[in-house]
Structure 1
Amino acid sequence: MRARNGGAVWRKVPRALALAGLLAFCAPVCAQAAWTVVTADSTGVSRASTPEGALDSLSARGFLTARLDSTRADTAFVWAGPRARIESLRLVGGAALSDPMADWQSREGGVFDLRALREDLHRTASRYARLGRVEARLVPDLQIAAGGREVAIVVRVDEGPEAEVVGVELVGARSPSRAFASRRVGLTEPTPPSQIDLGQVRRRLDATGLYLEVGQPTLARAEDGGLLLQVPVVEAPPGAFDVVLGYLPPTGEGGGSVVGNGRVDLRNLFGGGRAASASLERTPGLASAVSVAVSDPFLLGSPLGVGLAFEGASRDSTLARQRVAVSLRYALDPTLDLVATLAGEAVRPGTYGATLVDGRPRVRRTDDVLVGVGIAFARLDRPRTPRRGIALDVLAEQGRRGGDGLGTGPGSRRRLTVRGRIFVPTVAQQGLVFGADATVTQQQAGLDGLIDEGDLIRLGGAASFRGYDEDQFLARSALRALAEYRVRFDDASYVFAFTDAGGFDRPAGPGAVAERRTLLGYGAGLRVTTALGLATVTYALNPDLGPTRGKVHVGLQVGL
């Protein structure tokens, strides 16, 4: 007769051991106890449902020669006898575990305890299961010798086949998505557990920035019989609201002014890594900008991500500019995406922009259609506040231009946009950040060889050249290099010193002369976690400003 229990199969053993294996670990006998059990050799007094149950319990504890002496009313008198010791303990077979008995309570020379042996076998079976050997069996063969004083144990191991992991399941997520998690870690087809790097699984999930904590993955059975990699997570807030305010000191033409922008980001919508954002920016003068974007990293469970973005800007009565773009992303691996875009850009002159200068308007009415290709690469140790790693985004666009007054028919337009960051730890909680931002534009000029304001980008302020006014410069192409030194207090808080260096060029246009200029900015800042949220303060200067005339920017990020 055999009985299976907890990954182990028990061979035929004496009656006391068999009953102990079957009964001692079922419902507690004390809950139905009706007999008082007294051992003649002072082993103790206990309760049992029957005298036979008392003998079974003693046998399970290693008293293999226990016998019933006599009974009186509801009291049973038993003789426990000597406790058996483990004369030898061996495992036969199995190579997946280097030391399968590393954490066993049962040891050669130790006291034999059937319950402890059962726990040891169950623990080792669980270790095999974590390796994908969920059908592993451990079959103990017990030989009793020396009149019940010694037990020789041989455990035969049948590891069984290695099951395959069919997906990743996030434990603790508010809206878990198995398809999203599996694709994010690169587990897109059944894979043996021995071929999965659990550390890499944790790093790739952490790199999404969607989770505050990512725990140790474990294996569990799926309903279809395969294995699931279960990863405990603590989700980050589902969104954040950012506001950045800047103060521009008084100039010779007027007093100081306040500029700024607000932004709302929603993350991991419906548990699939989807995102949405909206921002509003207020710059000096009667100028403002708005942007809205939505994205899905794995459209319909495929490796193809899709995004839709709208940007609009107006500048008093000079012009209005709009851009609508659709982007597609293909994940080559969790750190590298190929990007393709299709964008439409339109510029409309305002009342002032439509006025003529030397026979041509300050701003032309144009409609561009641009097709772009690029890459997005990110390998960072901490996505929210990285200390080590590289991030690079490159997008090259080319298209056709149409509009009023071009005269020679549609024109061409090319633009290259690059953004890169390198994070290098130094000592203790300190580190360096190096970066570069570049925009290079090439386009067919108008009838008279001039470029107007509608073709140019704006520079200066907190998002580009710190130390200068917001949107102070107009440029066709620009390059900025930056360096920061950070001293951290914790994962999110640090003080930093920075410098920005670069320049831009602008061709002549209606009412404006050509300009090529080098820019330098520098300053310091503080980012700290407060009761309201993550606050950032920077003070920036340039060589033309005195130490008391710097640009101040204050930002606050509040989790939703």
Structure 2
Amino acid sequence: MPTFFPQMYVRLFFLSLLAWWLGGGMPVAWAQITAPGASPSPSQVTTSGMPAPTPVARDTTRRIVRKPVHPKVVRLQTEAADRPVLRHYRYRTTLPDSVSALHEVRDLLLAMQADAYLTASADTMHWRRDTLVVQVYVGEKFRWARLRNGNLGDGLLTRAGYREKFFRNQPFLPAEWARLQERIVDEAENQGHPFATVRLDSVQLRGADIDARVVLDRGPVILFDSIQIVGNSKTKKRFLTKYLQIFPNQPYNQQRVNAAAQLLRQLPYVQVKGNPEVRFSRGRARVYLLIDDRNANQFDAIIGVVPNSTTSVGQSKLQLTGDVTINLRNLRGGGKQIGLQWRKVDVATQSLDAHYLHPNFFGTPLELGASFNLYKQANAFLTVRPRLQVTYPTAQAGRIAFFTERRGSRLLDPALKERTSLPDTIDSQYNSYGVSYEWNRLDDLYFPRQGLLVYLQGAVGTKNISKNPELNDTLYRRIALHSNQITLSGRLEQYVRVGRSGVFLARVRGESLLNQRLFLNDMFRIGGLATLRGFSENFFYTNSYAVGTAEFRQFTGTDAYVFVFLDQGYLRRDLANDKFWDAPTGLGAGLSFRTGAGVFQFVYSMGQAKGQRLAPNASKIHFGITSRF
């Protein structure tokens, strides 16, 4: 039989113990607070107030569940004045065994203490056959009379979320006080005090009212020493110092240390082996980065020769096609990137893309990027699109970029003089300014298993239509030569693990072009392996589209997998003489694995759209090798 205490002594014992806790008489308990997925923080928080309940270890092994033969019943007894309070809490009255019954009573008391009934207790407990009779004492609801600022600066306390009205004549909630402690310690960690502790001082207990001062013991001032690379990465420490904003002789900042791993994972040429480690010595903090180099440079070249079906006098009967891609990343270990891609998928069209990225522009964390795109449709139009962009990469808020872009298009049709109506293409120039935002939480840039990717972009500008001297001037009377144009685009990807080696990908992406008069050379071009599988490259011309993808990947190795997919799209084309919409569907399967020459990918797909049935004779086969060095 358990030992029982008189109710009066139990209550006096709990009140004395509470005053002892709040008065700082309890020995200092060190509890490390670390952001998820980040390196451990040396800062500690003293657990003033009610301590957190000790978690109960549960057996996670599989057991055969049997219906209890003799269930136990819990019956709670309390004073009449406390019964309304007890009715607010839900608890089970029938339990499978006696241990579960005792745990149910304990969980109820902890819930009441978390709601400011700090002296709630079970005064007596005894068994009557299969019934556990518990005499519950609820007690008074403790309140903050006032929580005053001790030695904290007003700025620090405000940034930690302290407001006097939250701690004046309000219930004393241990969880709320613990959150305030954590926020104060976080602020101290980011100001060079990683060993700071928080406690209550000058505690006065008047009945159920608590009056106290919050005091911060800052500990020694710690400065950053340097960063060290642990691994085979040739990336320069000078670049990483600026990229991570961890400068020598600057006050220690735990937030930057926590953000380092996520920022490093955004670099395509770095393989993160673990979270950064910090070592403290003589007032200095040295940060160790566990990184290796990964093959990120790319060179691919596929050249083909096809017959020219539209030969004329002086033209060759054969045409050159191909796809050449060059991407060089982390040049000389400084993070610079340069790339070039030339594509000619058929006789009529070809494209050229080039880009350059310069990180740490003028010693700042800003990235300066420039890109150039050229697209030529034979005997139709030529479009060039240069772009200049400034990006600010952060771990907490994602990547924010501001850009300006100029898009110029001119006609190449040699028979313009013979036209009596305005063609579907036009000479135009579109100058725009915009902003883009990227939130990347993928665990790997090339072969993600889990995580979320969000990309949003918007631009607005002025579209100017130029009169072509080959066309009759009267054809331009019914169109606005100057108009505002808006471009929107977005992408959302979610990777979810399925079992040990399975991954489910859900993705939605789309673009939209808004203008009162659109032409064919203004349109987006989708179709093919990169956008909508089951169709030829650039098969659809559209001014608004959205493509949803559901794909399952079964990994057979670190960078090898087989997959099945379904692409469902919706698109529309709003031309003056051609209103069109469609909901194309693409489905198929494929595989990807590494070879000595690079990553080989094979995709078999079929597509269904207006004018194209879902049939094997209209299927597409895409395959290629991406070599990285």
| Fold shared, TM-score > 0.5 on shorter chain | yes
**CA 1:338/1:366 → structure 2, altered by over 3 Å: closer, same or farther?**
same
1:295 paired residue among 329, 337, 357: 357
- Partner residue, 1:263: 325
Aligned residue number for residue 127 of structure 2: none
For 1:409 and 1:293, locate their aligned partners in 2 and report how far apart those are by CA, in whole Å.
31
Q: RMSD in angstroms over aligned alpha carbons? A: 3.5
TM-superposed deviation, 1:342: 0.4
Secondary structure at 2:239's aligned position in 1? helix
* 501, 525, 528: which one aligns with 2:590: 525
3-state SS, counterpart of residue 441 of structure 2: strand
Note closer, same or farther for the CA distance 1:458–1:352 as it changes in structure 2 (3 Å cut). Answer: farther
Partner of 1:61: none
Which residue does the alignment assign to 1:209?
A: 268
User: Which position in structure 1 is the counterpart of 2:227?
Assistant: 168
After TM superposition, the structure 1 stretch with the greater mean CA deviation from structure 2, 409-418 or 200-209, is 200-209
Q: 1:243·1:556 contact (CA, 8 Å) conserved in 2?
A: no
* C-alpha distance in 1 between matches for 2:226 and 2:303: 45
Q: Which residue of 2 aligns with 1:347?
A: 409
Map 1:35-46; keep pairs closer than 5 Å. Answer: none
- Which of 517, 527, 537 is residue 470 of structure 1 equivalent to? 537
Please tell me whether residue 236 in structure 1 is matched to residue 298 in structure 2.
no
Q: CA deviation at 1:553?
A: 0.6
1:416 to 488, 493, 518: 488
The CA distance in 1 between the partners of 2:496 and 2:599, in whole Å, is 23
Matching of residues 455-494 of structure 1 within 5 Å: 455-494=522-561
Give yes or no for contact 1:169–1:176 (8 Å, CA) kept in 2.
no
Change in 2 beyond 3 A, CA 1:410/1:549: closer
* Deviation of 1:488 (Å): 0.2
Contact 2:243 2:365 in 1 (8 A): no
Counterpart secondary structure, 2:552: strand
The residue identity in structure 2 corresponding to 1:478 is: Y
Give the corresponding residue for 1:86.
none
Matches within 5 A, 1:62-73: none
| Counterpart residue number, 1:320 | 382
Please give the alpha-carbon distance, in whole angstroms, between the structure 2 residues aligned to 1:400 and 1:453.
18
What's the counterpart of residue 380 of structure 1? 442
Number of the residue aligned with 2:20: none
Q: Are the structure 2 counterparts of residues 381 and 215 from structure 1 closer, same or farther at C-alpha, using a change threshold of 3 Å?
A: closer
Structure 1 distance, partners of 2:421, 2:568, is 38
CA distance in 1, matches of 2:428, 2:296: 39
Aligned mates of 1:217, 1:340 — CA distance in 2? 30
Amino acid across the alignment from 1:342: T
Partner of 1:286: 348
- Tell me which residue corresponds to 1:25: none
Task: Specify the alignment match of 2:603 in structure 1.
Answer: 538
Cα 1:246–1:483 shift into 2, 3 Å:
farther
Does the aligned pair in 1 maintain the 2:466–2:481 contact within 8 Å?
no
- Any conservation in 2 of the 1:210–1:268 contact (CA below 8 Å)? yes
Give matches, 1:323-402, under 5 Å.
Answer: 323-333=385-395, 336-352=398-414, 354=416, 357-402=419-464
Instruction: Give 1:470 shift.
Output: 1.4
Answer yes or no: is the 8 Å Cα contact 1:336–1:377 preserved in 2: yes
Residue 426 of structure 1 pairs with residue 498 of structure 2: yes
8 A contact 1:184–1:205 mirrored in 2:
no
Of 208-217 and 531-540, more deviation after overlay is shown by 208-217
Is this contact kept in 2: 1:166–1:191, CA < 8 A? no
**Aligned partners of 1:196, 1:414: CA distance in 2, in Å?**
37
Amino acid across the alignment from 1:331: P
- Residue 362 of structure 2 aligns to a residue whose secondary structure is helix
CA distance 1:268–1:536, change in 2 (3 Å): same
What SS does structure 2 have at the residue aligned with 1:180?
A: helix
Q: Secondary structure at the match of 1:526?
A: strand
Q: Is the 8 A contact 1:245 1:553 kept in 2?
A: no
CA contact (8 A) 1:179 1:301 kept: no
2:626 to 553, 557, 560: 557
Q: Which residue in the other structure is 1:441 paired with?
A: 513
SS at match of 1:470: coil
- Tell me if structure 2 keeps the 8 A contact 1:242–1:555: no
C-alpha change, 1:460 and 1:247, in structure 2 (3 Å) is: farther
More strand by share: 1
Q: Deviation string for 1:450-499 (max 9, x for gaps)? A: x3222212121111111012111211111111111000012211111011
Distance apart, 1:175 and its partner CA: 4.2
Residue 421 of structure 1 aligns with an amino acid whose one-letter code is: E
Asked if 2 retains the 8 angstrom alpha-carbon contact of 1:368 and 1:401, the reply is: yes
Report if the CA contact (8 A) 2:233-2:292 is conserved: no
Contact 2:302 2:323 in 1 (8 A): yes
**Unpaired stretches in structure 1, ≥5 consecutive residues:** 1-93, 99-131, 134-159, 249-256, 446-450
Aligned residues: 393
Task: Tell which deviates more after alignment, 179-188 or 232-241.
Answer: 179-188
Q: Structure 1's 314 and 427: CA in aligned 2 closer, same or farther, altered over 3 A?
A: same
Asked whether the equivalents of residues 463 and 483 of structure 2 are also in contact (C-alpha less than 8 Å), the reply is yes
The equivalences for 1:24-43 within 5 A come to none
Whether the 8 Å CA contact 2:220–2:283 is kept in 1: the answer is: no
Instruction: State whether residues 297 and 306 of structure 1, in contact with CA within 8 Å, keep that contact through their aligned partners in structure 2.
Output: yes
Q: CA 1:217/1:455 → structure 2, altered by over 3 Å: closer, same or farther? A: closer
> Cα gap change, 1:443/1:244 in structure 2, threshold over 3 Å: closer, same or farther?
farther
Distance in 2 between the 1:243 and 1:471 partners?
A: 20
Alignment of 1:190-209 (within 5 A): 190-192=250-252, 195=254, 201-209=260-268
Larger C-alpha radius of gyration, 1 or 2?
Answer: 1
Pick one of 567, 571, 574 that aligns with 1:507. Answer: 574
Q: Percent identity?
A: 20
Q: In 2, Cα distance between the equivalents of 1:244 and 1:390?
A: 33
Residue 391 of structure 1: how far off its partner (Å)? 1.0
CA contact (8 A) 1:266 1:276 kept: yes
Instruction: State TM-score, norm by structure 2.
Output: 0.56
Distance 1:525 1:258 in 2: 28
Deviation of 1:519 after TM superposition, in Å, equals 0.6
* Aligned with 2:240 (options 177, 181, 191): 181
Task: Judge conservation of contact 1:284–1:470 (CA < 8 Å) in 2.
Answer: no
The one-letter code matched in structure 2 to 1:368 is: Y
| 1:516 is aligned to 2:588 | no
CA separation of 1:217 and 1:375: change in aligned 2, threshold 3 A = closer
In 1, Cα distance between equivalents of 2:596 and 2:266: 26
Higher RCO, 1 vs 2 (CA within 8 Å, ≥6 residues apart): 1
Gaps of 5+ in 2: 1-27, 33-191, 194-218, 307-318, 468-475
- What residue number does 1:24 align with? none
Cα deviation for residue 96 of structure 1 reads 8.7
Partner of 1:306: 368
Partners in 2 of 1:363 and 1:198 — Cα distance?
A: 53
- TM-score in terms of structure 1 length: 0.63
